């Protein structure tokens, strides 16, 4: 490729396989780090969000061939330049350009202007524009700047895929019709957008755990969420909730290696080998979570969720976990940020308190079955199945497991549910 590239086949390990592995790693890293920057720069050229997204995707496809002989020293710059060239080619061929939805851009950002340098987090703040409905901000940002596919967005939002796609389309049209500028917000505009940005980062991490692929986790998505969470802490060091969110992600991620056994099968939290938990992550997560729970900082929703994760992390065994305090944290979370998912998690936590009234817990779970937000949520019937099984109602538990299986696409989770169903049914 000439100068300015790193040859991926050089050296003793320069086999075709090694070259392909190096290029694949470079592309995955670029996808995590460069996607939002390339989309934003291209949008400032095209004045059209849909076209910018398409051209960015095409640039990554071209990189598959172009980087085979050498990865550019500046992959983001290469992708940005390529995407903008693809966009300009399409615009030149577009005979009905004037009829396309315009996107208002700042002066001096025409096709020949250099893209404004910006970190990915600032671009997330850009997309979370208060002129859009909150649910549209979240869906658009996850799709456009975080690269999450529509099916995964629907899963984490507990919504239908068609509805999410329509929501994203409406947001793009609102940007066009209202001439909302695609510009980096000033510092004094950030606090008003912070809660939505926190939600986006948390859902991005969650999306890394809801895929239908062969593994439990997509490290591309979880890795991007971690990067954004750390940027948030650096950008807003005086805000407790960014620290709480990062603490929550660390405390959750610390258990990743123990979530599956040696054969790749799912292991529930209380059955995990705690020696496999990452103690370095736990220590950092606990420090952040504790700071976010200071009395003068208030108790936000991510601080409370981090507190729950921290209580699990510090318990030496399932039996010595402070279940009552975990339920107290969920009680507080229901006051601060009530939602059907929080109510479900609270009920599941109550079922684990020694001496719990499982009949009352089941009644709470049954009450949630009529909530449309949980209609596609497999963890509700799975929680009901667990409680029914512990009550000795095997046939009903098996039926509940069937309902959970009907909503679950990940093969690892499906095998786990099938094993539980077989156990409770005596198969």
Structure confidence by residue, pLDDT tens digits, 118-143? 567 887 888 898 889 999 999 999 98
Give ranges for CATH 1.25.40 in the chain: 334-427
Give the predicted TM-score (pTM) of the model.
0.81
Q: What angle do CA 350, 244, 160 make, to 5 degrees?
A: 65
pLDDT of res. 182: 67
Please name the CATH architecture into which domain 334-427 falls.
Alpha Horseshoe (1.25)
Q: Which two tokens stand for residue 177?
A: 């019709």
pLDDT of res. 100: 45
Q: Among 290, 301, 364, 286, which residue's Cα sits nearest to residue 332?
A: 301
Q: What are phi and psi of 5, to 5 degrees?
A: -130, 160
Q: How distant is the alpha carbon of residue 13 from its chain centre?
A: 35
pLDDT of res. 162: 94
pLDDT of res. 10: 37
pLDDT of res. 325: 97
Q: Give the whole-angstrom CA distance, residue 81 versus residue 70.
A: 17
pLDDT of res. 115: 44
Q: Give the whole-angstrom CA distance, residue 111 versus residue 56.
A: 15
Give ranges for CATH 1.10.1740 in the chain: 5-98
The DSSP line for 39-60 is HHHHHHHHS-HHHHHHHHHHHH
pLDDT of res. 15: 37
pLDDT of res. 23: 78
For domain 5-98, is the CATH number 1.10.3470? no
Q: Give the whole-angstrom CA distance, residue 332 versus residue 302.
A: 11
Q: List helix spans (H) across 94-133.
A: 120-127
Q: What angle do CA 106, 110, 113 make, to 5 degrees?
A: 100
Q: How far is the CA of 244 from the CAs of 129, 142, 179, 249, in angstroms?
A: 23, 21, 35, 9
Low-confidence ranges of the chain (pLDDT < 70): 1-20, 94-119, 182, 211-214, 296-298
pLDDT of res. 98: 44
Q: What are phi and psi of 399, to 5 degrees?
A: -65, -40
Residue 98 has a CB neighbour count (10 Å cut-off) of 7
Q: Which two tokens stand for residue 350?
A: 């109550």
Q: Which two tokens stand for residue 183?
A: 């510009």
pLDDT of res. 214: 67
pLDDT of res. 11: 36
Torsion of CA 346, 348, 349, 351, to 10 degrees: 120
């Amino acid at each position: 490729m000439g100068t300015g590239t790193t040859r991926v086949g050089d050296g003793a390990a320069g086999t075709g396989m090694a070259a392909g592995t190096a290029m694949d790693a470079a592309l995955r890293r670029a996808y995590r780090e460069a996607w939002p920057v390339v989309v934003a720069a291209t949008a400032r050229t095209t004045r059209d969000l849909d076209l910018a997204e398409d051209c960015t995707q095409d640039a990554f496809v071209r990189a598959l061939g172009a980087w085979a002989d050498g990865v550019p020293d500046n992959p983001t710059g290469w992708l940005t330049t390529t995407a903008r060239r693809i966009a300009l080619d399409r615009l030149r061929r577009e005979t009905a350009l004037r009829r396309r939805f315009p996107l208002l851009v700042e002066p001096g950002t025409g096709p020949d202007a250099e893209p404004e340098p910006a970190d990915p987090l600032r671009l997330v703040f850009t997309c979370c524009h208060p002129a859009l409905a909150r649910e549209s901000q979240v869906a658009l940002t996850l799709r456009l700047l975080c690269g999450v596919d529509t099916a995964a967005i629907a899963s984490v939002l507990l919504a239908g895929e068609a509805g999410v796609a329509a929501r994203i389309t409406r947001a793009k049209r609102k940007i066009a019709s209202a001439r909302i500028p695609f510009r980096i917000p000033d510092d004094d505009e950030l606090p008003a957008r912070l809660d939505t940005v926190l939600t986006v980062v948390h859902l991005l991490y969650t999306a890394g755990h809801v895929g239908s692929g062969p593994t439990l986790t997509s490290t591309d998505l979880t890795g991007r969420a971690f990067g954004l969470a750390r940027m948030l802490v650096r950008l807003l060091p005086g805000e407790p909730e960014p620290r709480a969110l990062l603490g929550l992600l660390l405390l959750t991620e610390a258990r990743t290696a123990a979530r599956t056994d040696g054969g790749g099968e799912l292991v529930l939290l209380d059955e995990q080998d705690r020696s496999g938990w990452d103690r370095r992550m736990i220590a950092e997560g606990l420090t952040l979570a504790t700071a976010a729970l200071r009395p003068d900082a208030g108790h936000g929703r991510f601080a409370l969720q981090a507190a729950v994760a921290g209580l699990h992390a510090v318990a030496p065994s399932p039996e010595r976990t402070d279940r009552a305090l975990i339920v107290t944290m969920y009680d507080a979370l229901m006051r601060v940020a009530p939602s059907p998912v929080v109510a479900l998690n609270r009920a599941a936590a109550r079922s684990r308190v020694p001496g719990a009234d499982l009949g009352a817990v089941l009644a709470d779970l049954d009450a949630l079955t009529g909530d449309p937000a949980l209609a596609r949520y497999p963890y509700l019937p799975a929680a009901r199945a667990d409680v029914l099984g512990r009550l000795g109602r095997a046939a009903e538990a098996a039926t509940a497991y069937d309902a959970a299986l009907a909503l679950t696409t990940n093969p690892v989770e499906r095998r786990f549910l099938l094993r539980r169903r077989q156990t409770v049914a005596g198969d």
